[in-house]
Amino acid sequence: MGSGQAMLLVLLSLAALCRSAMHQESTIQCGSESGPSPEWMVQHTLTPGDLRDLRVELVKTNIEAEDYSVLMNISWILRADASIRLLKATKICMTGKSHVHSYSCVRCNYTEAFQSQTRPSGGKWTFSYVGFPVELSTLYFIGAHNIPNANMNEDGPSLSVNFTSPGCLDHVMKYKKKCIEAGSLWDPNITACKKDEKMVEVNFTISSLGDRYMVLIQHNTVMGFSNVVENKLTRTSVVILVTGESEGAVVQVTPYFRTCGNDCIRRKGIVILCPQTGGPLPLDNNRAALGGWLPLFLVLLVATWVLAVGIYLTWRQERIKMMSFPTTTTLLPLIKVLVVYPSEICFHHTVCYFTDFLQNHCRSEVILEKWQKKKIAEMGPVQWLTTQKQAADRVIFLLSNDDNSICDATCGHREGSPSDNSQDLFPLAFNLFCSDLSSQNHLHKYMVVYFSGADTKNNYEALHVCPKYHLMKDSNAFRVELLRVISHVSMGKQSQACHSSYSPL
C-alpha cells in the first residue's frame, strides 16, 4: 500500500469521525405516502432489519379543527444491529375498522444516516410520530416496516400492533367534539340512597346541554324509573318507586340532550342506604322543647298549607303540563299494553323510554317480558305470551333501526349481560300473533311503533297490515289510535287517557 493511499484512508476516517461528532442526532421528517415507496421498485442486496418495538397511545392536540383533536402518538424503537446503517426511512400504515373504513400511510425519513447502533448518549434509537386522527371505539391495525424494504417477492420484516380506541368516557377521548355534544364533560355527580323498601332518592347535577333525563334503578332487571324535567335548579332530586331490594342497585341517568337525542352518554351510580335522620332518639330528647313550640308550629303548618293550596289552584293549569310521576297515574284505571321488541333494540333508552311514555302519558299498564322473567320461566314462553295477549288491550310491536355504537357500548344489551341469556321472545311473539294479523276481528289489537328513523328492513312482512307510527313524530296520531281502541274496551275511562302536552325530543 502506497503512503498516498494510506493517507487518503486516514483522512476519510477522520472525515467520518468529524461528521458523526459534528452532526446532531438523526431526527425524522414524516410525510404522507399512500402508494408504494420508490425503493420498492429497486432491487436491494441488503436491507435493514425490523423494528424492535412499536407502540400507540392517544394524544390530545391543541389543533381546534373539530375531529382532529385526538391523534395517535406512534413510537418505535430501532433494533441495535449493524443493518441500521442501511436504514433510510420507516413507513407506518394505519387501517381503521368501524362503520367507515380508513387507510393511511406515512413515511418518516431519517435526516441523517445512522453511524452507530445506539444513540451517542447511549440509549436505543427511539422516534415518535404524532398523526392519524382517532375515531371513537374503532379497531386500528398499525403496521410499520423499514425502508429500503425487502425485495418485491420476499416477506419483509414488519411489526404491527392492534389498537382499539376507547369511547367517550376515556380521559382523552372525552374532548372530541362528538363526545362533548353527547355530554362527556358533564359531571352529574349522582348520589342515590334507599329511603325505605319502596323509595329511592336520587340527586344529580343538571347539564347545561338539556333539561330532560330518565332515571332508572336496576338490579339485573329494571326496578323503577322516572322522567325528570328540570330547568330551574342546577342540582335536582327525584324519588323513585321501586319493586324489590334497592340497596346496592345501579342507578342510571340517561340524558336527552338536543345534540345527541336518544344517544347521549348515560351515567351510573350505586344506591346506598340513606343516612338515618330524625330517628327516635333525638325525638325523645326534644319532646319537652317540642311541647312549647307546638302551637306556633301548628299555626305555621296551617298557614303553609293554605298557601300551598292557593298556589296549587293558581298554577293548576301549568301543572297539568308538567311531567307526572308513576304514583299519580297508576292510581287511575289503566289500559293494558303488551310491548314486544326484538332483542337488538337498545333496551334502556328505547324500550324504557317508550314504556315510560305509555305509563305516564297514556295511562297504560305496560307488560314487558323483561320484567316477568320469572313468570316466563315458570309458565314457558308460549303460555306466557298467550296469556298476556288475552289480558292485554293492545299489543305493540316496538321496532327500531337504531344501530348506534354508543348504544352498543353502554347499553350492554347486545353484549349479553347476565340477565340477557334468556330466549329472545320477539320471533316467538311474532309467529304466535301472526295468525291474528290476517283476521280483521283481531287486527285492532295490534300496532307497530318505530323508534328513530325510517322503517327497518326487517323480516316481519306480516306487520305491514298493522297501523304504523314513528315516535316521536307521530305521537299524536299514536295516542288517538290508542284511545280509539280503548273506547271499545273500557268506555268512560279514556277521556283523558293521554296528556296532550307531551313534548317530543
Q: Which residues bind ligand NAG (CB under 6 A)?
A: 29-31, 38, 59, 73, 75, 89, 107, 109, 128, 130, 160-162, 189, 191-193, 201, 203, 237
Rounded CA separation 246/30 (Å) = 57
| Shorter beta-carbon distance to ligand NAG: residue 237 or 328 | 237
Q: Closest distance between ligand NAG and the C-beta of residue 358, in Å?
A: 28
Q: Closest distance between ligand NAG and the C-beta of residue 473, in Å?
A: 36
| Shorter beta-carbon distance to ligand NAG: residue 53 or 245 | 53
Residue 106, all three cell numbers? 406515512
| Shorter beta-carbon distance to ligand NAG: residue 84 or 271 | 271
Task: Tell me how crowded residue 322 is: count the other CB atoms within 10 A of its CB.
Answer: 11
| Shorter beta-carbon distance to ligand NAG: residue 30 or 411 | 30
| Location of C-alpha cell 332487571 | 221
Residue nearest to ligand NAG (CB): 31
Q: Closest distance between ligand NAG and the C-beta of residue 433, in Å?
A: 41
| Shorter beta-carbon distance to ligand NAG: residue 33 or 402 | 33
Nearest in space to 67 (alpha carbons), one of 145, 139, 1, 132: 132
Q: Closest distance between ligand NAG and the C-beta of residue 425, in Å?
A: 33
Rounded CA separation 402/127 (Å) = 43
- Who's near 227: CB < 8 A, 6+ residues apart? 212, 213, 214, 215, 323, 356, 360
SS3 296: helix
| Shorter beta-carbon distance to ligand NAG: residue 124 or 321 | 124
Q: How far is CA 412 from the centre of its chain?
A: 9
Q: Closest distance between ligand NAG and the C-beta of residue 194, in Å?
A: 9
Q: Closest distance between ligand NAG and the C-beta of residue 367, in Å?
A: 31
Q: Closest distance between ligand NAG and the C-beta of residue 227, in Å?
A: 18
HEC string of 152-168 equals CCCCCCEEEEEEECCCC
Compute the Cα dihedral for 173, 175, 177, 178 and give only its sign.
positive
What are residue 90's DSSP bridge partners? 108, 146
| Shorter beta-carbon distance to ligand NAG: residue 74 or 449 | 74
Q: Closest distance between ligand NAG and the C-beta of residue 124, in Å?
A: 12
| Shorter beta-carbon distance to ligand NAG: residue 3 or 208 | 208
| Shorter beta-carbon distance to ligand NAG: residue 26 or 73 | 73
Residue 308, all three cell numbers? 300551598
Q: Closest distance between ligand NAG and the C-beta of residue 205, in Å?
A: 7
Beta pairing, strands 394-400 & 468-471: unpaired
Cα dihedral value 297, 303, 305, 307, nearest 10: -150
| Location of C-alpha cell 323503577 | 224
| Shorter beta-carbon distance to ligand NAG: residue 195 or 470 | 195
Rounded CA separation 429/396 (Å) = 11
Angle at 112 between CA 109 and CA 116, to 5 degrees: 115
Rounded CA separation 263/410 (Å) = 10
Q: Closest distance between ligand NAG and the C-beta of residue 26, in Å?
A: 13
Is residue 355 classed exposed, middle or buried when 0-12, 13-18 and 19+ CB atoms within 10 A define those classes?
A: buried
